[in-house]
Amino acid sequence: MVLDHPTNHVGEEMLKSKSIPLQDYKEYSHEEMQQRAADFYKLMKSRRSVRDFSPRPAPRQIIEDCLRAAGSAPNGANMQPWHFVVVSDPQVKSEIRKGAEIEERKFYEERASDEWKEALSSLETNWQKPFLEVAPYLIVIFSQSFGLTPEGERVTNYYVQESVGIATGMLITAVHSAGLVSLTHTPSPMGFLNDILKRPSNERPFLILVVGYPVEDVIVPDISRKPLKEIATFI
């Protein structure tokens, strides 16, 4: 049995923990619920991925709270199999840009199929990733394929991809709700991030979330979202 694990909190306390009353649950009237759901939809539909960032700094405290929100995500067996590395050091950002552009160049020039390039054409992306140096924060999200005790023993994590995906979605939502913009960036393969950020081998880069302010009068691709009847079925 694993006790006092530092990252998944499978400690004696946790194993003995009993159920407690649900804190802070509040029931709303149907009208209030409808208004809240509509307001939240309005907020979320205004989120767009932005590729042109301003170098303007953003307060670290905002990022900290957004990460706390992400860390509250539902996840497999409460192992919380994630680690977030927040990079604002210009030197490290520059190394990440170099590493990403090497992979992205290979992607655009060799690896991507014509079909994939066609699917991306409206986004007008290419191998150059200046935003990796310009934006004030790169949040590199790592998933922990398995946990490690201080003694180096492996601890199984469950539903790692699902858990980290949900946490990332919550992070993106928190960043948007706070009033900053973000871009999910996935250079592939991303192993270079373990080297640059000195992360252990039980961690895999999941994605880079680029966070900051947009440039003034920023433009974004003219895309639309599928209507509800296309994305949902009620039975």
* Residue at token pair 């992205």: 104
The residue (of 125 and 177) whose beta carbon lies closer to ligand IYR is 125
Map the footprint of ligand IYR across residues 95-124, applying CB under 6 A: 104, 107, 120, 123
Is the alpha carbon torsion for 128, 109, 50, 188 positive or negative?
A: negative
| d(C-alpha 144, C-alpha 15), whole Å | 21
Size of the site for ligand IYR (CB under 6 A): 8
**Site for ligand IYR (CB under 6 A): which residue of 186, 196, 199, 215?**
186
Contact 187, 100 (CB under 8 A): yes
**Site for ligand IYR (CB under 6 A): which residue of 93, 176, 185, 204?**
185
Q: Please state the closest distance from residue 70 (CB atom) to ligand IYR, in A.
A: 21
Q: Does the bond joining 189 to the residue before it have cis omega, within 30 degrees of 0?
A: yes
Q: Of the ranges 5-13, 164-172, 185-193, 197-205, which one interacts with ligand IYR (CB under 6 A)? A: 185-193
Helix (H) or strand (E) holding 104: helix 90-106
**Site for ligand IYR (CB under 6 A): which residue of 54, 78, 88, 125?**
125
DSSP 109: I
* Residue at token pair 């840009």: 97
Q: Please state the closest distance from residue 62 (CB atom) to ligand IYR, in A.
A: 24
Residues 6+ apart with CB under 8 A from 229: none
Residue in the shown chain whose Cβ atom is closest to ligand IYR: 125
The residue (of 123 and 220) whose beta carbon lies closer to ligand IYR is 123
The residue (of 101 and 162) whose beta carbon lies closer to ligand IYR is 101
Strand order in the sheet with 82-87: 82-87, 137-144, 203-212, 181-185
Task: Name the site residues for ligand IYR (rule: CB under 6 A).
Answer: 104, 107, 120, 123, 125, 185-187
